[in-house]
A and B are shown apart, each in its own frame.
Chain A
Amino acid sequence: KNEVEQSPQNLTAQEGEFITINCSYSVGISALHWLQQHPGGGIVSLFMLSSGKKKHGRLIATINIQEKHSSLHITASHPRDSAVYICAVSFSGNTPLVFGKGTRLSVIA
């Protein structure tokens, strides 16, 4: 079964810390997405990538195709970054996304 594993499940950080959230998957993929879900429930797309690295503001997403692994980094974390971060992958072609269970991040001032 094609699976997506995220770690850690929960993460608490002090404001200003550098944060890394990991996503690993079982077989080759065509696309990987990082999503953010705030306490109010809304889900927002952060990145979509199939190779290399993308950066948006304080967020950086990387992917290593050979190791079947992606990381989401947050630099200079802030309490407003507190949310659930979700990794999702498409395992081939245009097959629907398979989602990880999410990483719950709390950033404390």
Chain B
Amino acid sequence: DAGITQSPRHKVTETGTPVTLRCHQTENHRYMYWYRQDPGHGLRLIHYSYGVKDTDKGEVSDGYSVSRSKTEDFLLTLESATSSQTSVYFCAISDQGVNTEAFFGQGTRLTVV
């Protein structure tokens, strides 16, 4: 299995608090992605990174920021969590982008109350 770890796996937080989710990889893959998965929707891209300090927005980036200071870590931050950000969050990695196989983390279930 590809070495990709998400933390935490579960989190309950209050509206208005900041939250940071971490994705850590041991594969030295260039591309890292953050998705959210909600009922009735396919996986939707929040942000992605194509190298250290190189990031770009996805389809549903409002309310989220990311940082990648090292190849192995990609952080997703909710600056002020809202109930609409209750979701399951997946991190994924790939070596050369979408034309190579993607590997997914186990997901983080975030509940904002």
Contacts and interface: CB of A to CB of B under 8 A. Distances in A.
A complexed with B = yes
Interface of A: 4, 30-31, 33, 35, 41-45, 48, 50, 86, 88, 90, 94-102
Contacts of A42: 104, 106-107
A29 B34 CA distance: 22
A8 to B, nearest CB: 15
Interface size, B (range):
20 to 34
Given A43-B90, A48-B99, A96 B104 contact: no
Contacts of A97: 45, 98, 102
B78 interface: no
Given A42-B104, A43-B104, A86 B43 contact: yes
Interface in B46-86: 48, 58
14 contacts: A30-B98, A41-B106, A42-B104, A43-B104, A45-B101, A45-B104, A48-B102, A88-B42, A90-B99, A94-B99, A95-B98, A98-B42, A99-B35, A99-B43
A86 B37 CA distance: 12
A56 B60 CA distance: 34
Given A42-B107, A96-B33, A96-B48, A86 B42 contact: yes
Interface string B18-54: 0000000000000001010000111111001000000
